[in-house]
Amino acid sequence: MSINELQDEVITEFSDFDDWMDRYQLLIDLGNEQEPLDEKYKTEQNLIEGCQSRVWLQADEEDGKIIFKAESDALIVKGIISLLMKVLSGHTPDEILNADLYFIDKIGLKEHLSPTRSNGLLSMVKQMRMYALAFKAKDSSK
């Protein structure tokens, strides 16, 4: 599936709920379904700067596609990073770098997060794009 198809799927999933308490619960459920991150990846280097909670993000390249793994010590944040991984993981660096992540606004995520969580969300997206840039640079130097 393309990044936009995955975003549309997320928008559909969230549109089933009118109440933000239900949407928060969906986020928490998504976070809880996520595989725990291997302890060896819970390093200072993998911590995302700018997040109030602790969020570790690991990126690996497999067959030209970036696979993200992450974990957070906060339930809602864990849900947010799992949404981002659902949309971006398994795509090429170029697809990630060129993606317009419209689902964040469409599901009303940014406006329903505290300012610090909103900054954290932007930091997560920025970090995922930085990984994509790094893998792209590494691939072009081969």
Copy the structure tokens of residue 113.
């997060």
Annotated catalytic sites, by residue?
A: 51
The number of distinct structural domains making up the chain is: 1
In a domain, 140, yes or no: no
Contact 76, 21 (CB under 8 A): no
Q: What is the pLDDT of residues 6-62, one digit of tens each?
A: 999 999 999 999 898 999 999 999 999 998 999 999 999 999 988 778 999 999 999
- Domain extent, residue 5, equals 1-134
Does a structural domain hold residue 20?
yes
Is 90 strand, coil or helix? coil
Q: Is 14 contained in some domain? A: yes
Q: Which regions of the chain does DSSP assign to beta strands (E)?
A: 55-62, 65-72
What confidence tens digit (pLDDT) does each residue in 36-52 have? 999 999 999 999 988 77
Q: Which residues contact 119 (CB under 8 A, 6 or more apart)?
A: 50, 51, 52
Full-model pTM: 0.93
Whether 141 is covered by a domain: the verdict is no
